[in-house]
Amino acid sequence: MSGGKHADYSGEYRTINYKKVVLVIVIFLLLFGIGFGSVLLVKHIKNKPKEEPTPVETGIMPEEIEGFKVLGEFEFETLGINQYILDSYDDKALEKGIGKLYGGNLNSVGNFAVVGHNYDNVFGKLFEINKGDTFSVKEPDGDVINYQVTEINTIEPTDLTVLTQNTDKCVMTLITCDTEGTQRFVVKAEKVTETGIDETTSNKV
């Protein structure tokens, strides 16, 4: 009888341990996801680079800059901002322009988030904008898409709601440090057409 009880106990013990292992793995993955998302907003725009990115020169858009793929060209004409959008938010990438932080394809349905340092010729002048202002994004094939500012907020570095994806709008989110470097200044804008903000899902994917 003692042998039978021992066998039953071992089976139950293994089942309990299996459940604990699964639970630990799930918790770990959740914490990793939250932690990774926080790093996206905090790490790479906390410290300024040694040199400011130079404004974009007129001419043919390069395919890459020092190993970083060029996704497009960002221009906020009224503020004098003109920078390439690179496919990375690495420190070295942010020394060359603004970097893609999160999202799908540029100018597609969803939320395309970019980060840049708060220098005057990068995102420093974003503090001067107002709702309704417009900027443009030029694609490598030459297409130019216009965006209109819809939201302006200052958030904590750990607030990840600004990265939430959209299923029916083409949104672009611009993120930089505030003047003190302790919070994040966030600008949201939506793609516009000749008739106004595009509310359809007909944007290219």
pLDDT, one tens digit per residue, over 71-103 is 999 999 999 999 999 999 999 999 999 999 999
Distance CA 45, CA 102 (A): 14
8 CA to centre of own chain: 53
pLDDT digits (tens, 9 = 90+) for 153-162: 999 999 999 9
Whether 25 maps to a domain, the answer reads no
Biggest CA–CA distance in the chain, Å, is: 87
pLDDT digits (tens, 9 = 90+) for 3-17: 444 434 344 434 445
Q: Is residue 14 part of a domain?
A: no
How many angstroms separate the CA atoms of 138 and 148, rounded? 15
Q: Report residue 38 as tokens.
A: 């926080």
pTM over 0.75: no
Domains contained in the chain, number: 1
The C-alpha atoms of residue 71 and residue 139 are separated, in whole angstroms, by: 7
Q: Which domain holds residue 128?
A: 44-197
133, part of any domain: yes
Could you tell me if residue 33 is inside a domain? no
* φ, ψ for residue 70, nearest 5 deg: -90, 120
* CATH code at position 70: 2.40.260.10
Helices (H), the chain: 2-42, 91-94
Q: Is there a domain that residue 35 lies in?
A: no
